[in-house]
Structure 1
Amino acid sequence: MAPTAEGGSVPYPVIRPMLATVAPLPAGSEEAAWAFEAKWDGARCVVNTSGDGTVRLVTRAGNDATSTYPELGPLGAQLRGRPAVLDGEVVVLDARGRPDFGLLQRRMGVVNPRRTARLAMEHPVHLVLFDIMYLGGSLLGTPYHERRALLSGLGLRGKNWSVPAHVVGHGQEAWEASLRGGIEGVVAKRLTSLYTPGVRSPEWRKTKHVMTLDVVIGGWVAGHGALGGLPGAVLAGVEEPTGLRYVGSVGSGMSDRERRDLADYLGVLARPRSPFADPVDLPDAHWVEPRLVAEITLSGWTSAGRLRHPVWHRLRPDLTRLG
């Protein structure tokens, strides 16, 4: 039994979420042994209920998020009489019904009741439930396909939560559907996989969509420590009819040699003012003539129009802009 803040116990165990490894989707010849789910761009959440109509929400880091997402409280009524532990992902959907991590960030960590109530109206969360680890007894040793069938049979449907469908043996179709739906990627789960709390298991595989983009370098910020004096990140822009629009900084993925080479190139292109059409609030920025083009990868865009998870790939000398 799990301890409570009052020193008593509740009729469910503390269970950490099982994690997926980053890997390609199973080969076509293996697909029949796997189920495929959407990979949601949100925050992992374990739902605990004593069966008394209340719920306790716990983040992957082990923090209590119950007061942060008050709109999920009514889920407890659908689990009344059944002590349970469920696994899911908290997301905020944009106007097109797609997960927007930037909007979710506005909700994360907020505990003030008045503010959470206001945010719940402005940016309501949706809890995507995809596994169950306890229902009056442990399900950790139960195969995934049986757990998923049990979860689907609970009839957990509400304004702010759902149990989305999964498919068995059709990985490529799931991949293409996630692309069309603007979903972050696909998670493949072996049908016979047991639930191993806190373990990053090869029995679960996550595969994310990655976009490639050419950006114009309009400036840079220095790195710290051993990178002092070298570009820690470049300031990226994309051409629009109104001029060069700032879309964020890119530093991850650069080698030391690339940083040294960039320092030489950018030193020649220094200029006193920002080349971006929109304001960029970076007091330590070094501005450059927007001549160099870089190829980066990203997982998508934030609601503010910034790069999400950008990673440096290479310079594109073939696309260098002439003065």
Structure 2
Amino acid sequence: MTLPRIAPMLATPGVLPPAGQDMRWAYETKQDGQRVVVYLPGDGSVVLRARSGEDITAAYPELLSLGGALGSTAAILDGEIVVLDERGRGDFQRLQSRMGLAHAPARAARRAAETPVHLMLFDVMHLRGDLTGTRYARRRQELEALGLAGPFWSTPSALVGHGESALRATRENALEGLVCKRLDSVYEPGVRSRAWIKIRNMRTADVIIGGWSPGRGRLAGLPGAVLVGQREAGRLRYAGSVGTGWSTEERLALARLLSAAESDTCPFDTVPPVPGAHWVLPLLVGEVRYSTRTRAGLLRQPSWHRLRPDLAPEDSAADLP
């Protein structure tokens, strides 16, 4: 059977629905992985397409057996490919070693044996016909009735109502966040819709600026990103590059401060691999927001929040893993 191409529906960043509307929404754990649309034509085959529409099937050979999971029933499913850590949470750093191998099947097979992925399914857009115009609550019933649970895939539950409790649970378990989905919403292919709201759990950290990398385009001549670290056992450990979160005025003010602190010596205990980096004396402390850390301790999705002139550099040591 030839299945139609369906672009994934996208969520809009936001906050929990008002308490009075809580029971009109379902809540799903936000997964830290690669979005995928799964095409099951009912002939035993499977095609996996990334959000861009690229065919990435060959990158994940362990998911090929999903093609026969529904027998001759044709379906199009929505989900997220993750690599689970020891606590059952998505680990994006481990997943990165599996991405980009769609044109290298031999390498993909080796990586699959070393670092298997898991497909989290959360929607169905086609099943014995088009379901995109069907309400989320009904689509969810259809998906769960398929009973898709296997060695490399599952259908995590969705919670109707109790949004505050659901969000609190994601924070307590160090999960990426929550996706809120209106029960009466239809599936809008390719649309970033207010019917789906994503809430990312962001953490904060105090960091020391040890350098910066030049901006490009309209940011030419200004810092494009600052290179930050934290104290550990008396050394300044590199924690990553932060390139967002400033207004133009704030970036100009920061440029003046960095110029005054210019240094010929890298202050980090290990020189970070940042081409064209400029080093500064490790005097400026700032606060950043971020989602998680990599196993190497680098900040993921960091964003600048503010300077902390009230803190001395030796105060920014606390929350390294």
Q: Is TM more than 0.5 here? A: yes
Partner of 2:202: 210
Partner of 1:118: 110
Give the 3 Å change call, closer, same or farther, for CA 226–87 of structure 1 in structure 2: closer
Q: 1:242 Cα shift?
A: 4.7
Out of 71, 81, 84, the position equivalent to 2:62 is 71
Secondary structure at 1:273's aligned position in 2? coil
CA distance in 2, matches of 1:12, 1:186: 30
CA distance in 2, matches of 1:296, 1:65: 34
Partner of 2:319: none
CA distance in 2, matches of 1:201, 1:282: 37
Q: Which moved more, 1:210-219 or 1:280-289?
A: 280-289
Partner of 1:237: 229
Partner of 2:299: 307
Give the 3 Å change call, closer, same or farther, for CA 118–319 of structure 1 in structure 2: same
Whichever residue aligns with residue 245 of structure 2, its letter is: G
In the TM superposition, what whole-angstrom CA distance separates every residue of 1:113-149 from its partner, at most 9, and x where no partner exists? 2100111112211100000111121112221111111
CA distance in 1, matches of 2:312, 2:249: 20
Secondary structure at 1:249's aligned position in 2? strand
Whichever residue aligns with residue 15 of structure 1, its letter is: I
Partner of 1:265: 257
> Aligned ranges for residues 14-163 of structure 1 at < 5 Å?
14-110=5-101, 111-163=103-155
How many corresponding residue pairs?
313
Q: 1:222 Cα shift?
A: 1.6
Give the 3 Å change call, closer, same or farther, for CA 163–317 of structure 1 in structure 2: same
Partner of 1:255: 247
Whichever residue aligns with residue 207 of structure 1, its letter is: I
In the TM superposition, what whole-angstrom CA distance separates every residue of 1:282-302 from its partner, at most 9, and x where no partner exists? 342211111110111111112
CA distance in 2, matches of 1:265, 1:140: 53
Secondary structure at 2:263's aligned position in 1? coil
Partner of 1:195: 187
CA distance in 1, matches of 2:21, 2:80: 27
Whichever residue aligns with residue 6 of structure 2, its letter is: I
Q: Which moved more, 1:70-79 or 1:274-283?
A: 274-283
Secondary structure at 2:231's aligned position in 1? strand
Structure 1: any 5+ residue segments left out of the alignment?
1-9
Q: Which moved more, 1:67-76 or 1:223-232?
A: 223-232
Secondary structure at 1:195's aligned position in 2? coil
Whichever residue aligns with residue 239 of structure 2, its letter is: V
Q: 1:272 Cα shift?
A: 1.8
CA distance in 2, matches of 1:20, 1:270: 42
Partner of 1:7: none
In the TM superposition, what whole-angstrom CA distance separates every residue of 1:39-87 from its partner, at most 9, and x where no partner exists? 1111111110111111111111000011111111111111111011011
How high is the TM-score relative to the length of structure 2? 0.93
Q: Provide the aligned C-alpha RMSD in A.
A: 1.5
CA contact (8 A) 1:238 1:247 kept: yes
Partner of 1:276: 268
Whichever residue aligns with residue 38 of structure 2, its letter is: V
In the TM superposition, what whole-angstrom CA distance separates every residue of 1:174-222 from its partner, at most 9, and x where no partner exists? 1111112222111111111111211111111111111111100111112
Q: Which moved more, 1:268-277 or 1:63-72?
A: 268-277
Q: 1:12 Cα shift?
A: 2.2
CA contact (8 A) 1:11 1:83 kept: no
CA distance in 2, matches of 1:252, 1:312: 6
Structure 2: any 5+ residue segments left out of the alignment?
315-321
Q: Which moved more, 1:274-283 or 1:165-174?
A: 274-283
Q: 1:93 Cα shift?
A: 1.3
